[in-house]
Each structure stands twice: as structure tokens, then as C-alpha cells.
Amino acid sequence: MRRPLVVLEELSPRTRQLVVSGAAVVVPFAVAVALVPIRSHSPNATVALILALVVALLAAAGTRLSAALAAVSAGLGFDVFHTQPYGSLRITRAQDVEATLLLLGVGLVVGQLATRSRRHSHRAAESSYDLGRIHVVAEMLAAGERADQVVLAVANELKSLLDLRYCRFDPAFAGQPGPFIERHGAITWGSVEWGFTTMGLPRKEVTLVVEHQGRPLGRYVLLARTDYPVTVDQLLVAVALADLAGAALAAQGALG
């Protein structure tokens, strides 16, 4: 039997978010209901700690939104079923008010920390993988592979790196200027700097210049598949890959 987290990872991002958000709404409230039989035998602090643990687990596996939903769900469940008068949102004891606020705080804080941790882990994994792309092409270059093979390998790596519909090498440059990737990891379109971190690549052919020692040798023509955001690091990796293609072309010219 596959683990639930593995199944979640196989879902699309939107579906996964809906599933996690649904669980954040339902699970804490259901746990609060399930704890009703013990409310006369256990102090409310114990119930609040159990619900706080549930909220923390859901927040760690979800997003800020799902963490907030879990906290609100747990707070409502605790308020309705474990504070007097039962079955009402009214709270009469100060310690129950504190416990409800604690549940809300736990969800928000853990959700923020979990989101930040996942972001850092994701960036570290992406950086490692992107360095691997450069290493693979550099090994081809060091092994003396033909320039056309290196150029093709770079095109394939660029297609995967930036989620492109297609990527092709063109030894000539476009007659009319369009968007292109700068060497410092930016995208410009004429005098406009494109907001790639929010809008992704332009839905138009983008030029990535291939050069060696400052001499242009051609360009890669890129067309994005989606408008998914792109990072500066990804663009810098793209420039580094293009430089490797430029080194292969320059070496072929020197040998020829």
C-alpha cells in the first residue's frame, strides 16, 4: 500500500492544494468531535494540546492557507464541543479563551515556519539539480563531443529547466528585436524589464544569446509552455548552459 504523502505528491498542484485544504477544514473539527466522550474526564488543556498537535501536523504538510484553516477549524471545534456552554460559540471561562487563541496561534506560526522550510528545501534541491545539468554538458565538452551534440544537449536541458514548448538553436539573429535573456539573469523586452518572477517567460519567442569570449555565435530560441514563474537562478543556469554551447562551437571552429 502506498503512503498517503506519496499519493499526494503524484497529484497536480491545484488538486493537492484542494485535498490538503479540505483535510485542514475537516480533520481538526472531526477530532474535536471524537474527543467529546473524554471531556468530562480530561481537562480542557489536554484536549487543546491534542488539537494543537493535529493542527501542527496539518500545517507542516500544507500551506499558510491550510494552516490557517486547520487552526480555525480546531478553534471552532474546541469552542463548540469543549467549552461551556457546550454547543455554542460563547466561551465563559478565561482559560478556554486562552486555549482557543493558542490553537489559532499554533496553526499560523507552524504554517509560516513549514512554508519557509519547504521553500528553502525546494530551492536547495533545484540548485543541486541545476548544477547537475551544467556538469553533464561540461563532461560532454571535456570528452570532446561534437559541437552539434553539445548544442542539442543544451537545448534539451534548457527545455526541461524552463519548461519550454520548444527550444532550438539558430546561428542567425532575429530581424526584429524581441525579448531576450540578459547575462545577469534578467529578461528585457526593448526598454522594459519583464517580471519573470511573477509572470514567467513571455508567451513569445525569447532569445538566449550563445557567445564565447564576448563573440556572439548564435542564439537559442525559447518558447514557454506555461506562464509559471521563473527564478533568477534558473536564468543564470540557462546562461551558463548557453556558454558551454558557445565553447563547443568555438572549439569546433578552432579545430576546423
Are 110 and 59 a contacting pair, CB within 8 Å? yes
For residue 85, whether the previous peptide bond is cis, meaning omega lies within 30 degrees of 0, is yes
Which tens digit of pLDDT belongs to each residue from 171-180?
988 777 789 9
Query: What average pLDDT does this structure show over 97-110?
Result: 75
DSSP helix/strand/coil, 170: strand
Kindly indicate the confidence band of residue 10, based on its pLDDT and cuts at 50, 70 and 90. Answer: low
Kindly indicate the confidence band of residue 182, based on its pLDDT and cuts at 50, 70 and 90. Answer: very high
pLDDT given at position 59: 77
Q: What cell does 170 get?
A: 539558430
Domains of the chain, with CATH numbers?
4-121 (no CATH), 144-255 (3.30.450)
- In what side-by-side order are the strands of the sheet with 187-189? 164-170, 215-224, 206-212, 180-181, 187-189, 192-193
Are 218 and 172 a contacting pair, CB within 8 Å? yes
Kindly indicate the confidence band of residue 6, based on its pLDDT and cuts at 50, 70 and 90. Answer: very low
CB atoms within 10 A of CB 77: 25
Q: What cell does 239 get?
A: 546562461
- Distance between CA atoms of 41 and 38, rounded to whole angstroms? 5
CB atoms within 10 A of CB 93: 11
Mean pLDDT over each residue of the chain, to the nearest integer: 83
The overall pTM is greater than 0.85: no
Higher pLDDT, 199 or 85: 199
pLDDT given at position 11: 56
Which tens digit of pLDDT belongs to each residue from 108-149?
777 777 777 777 676 666 767 778 888 999 999 889 899 999
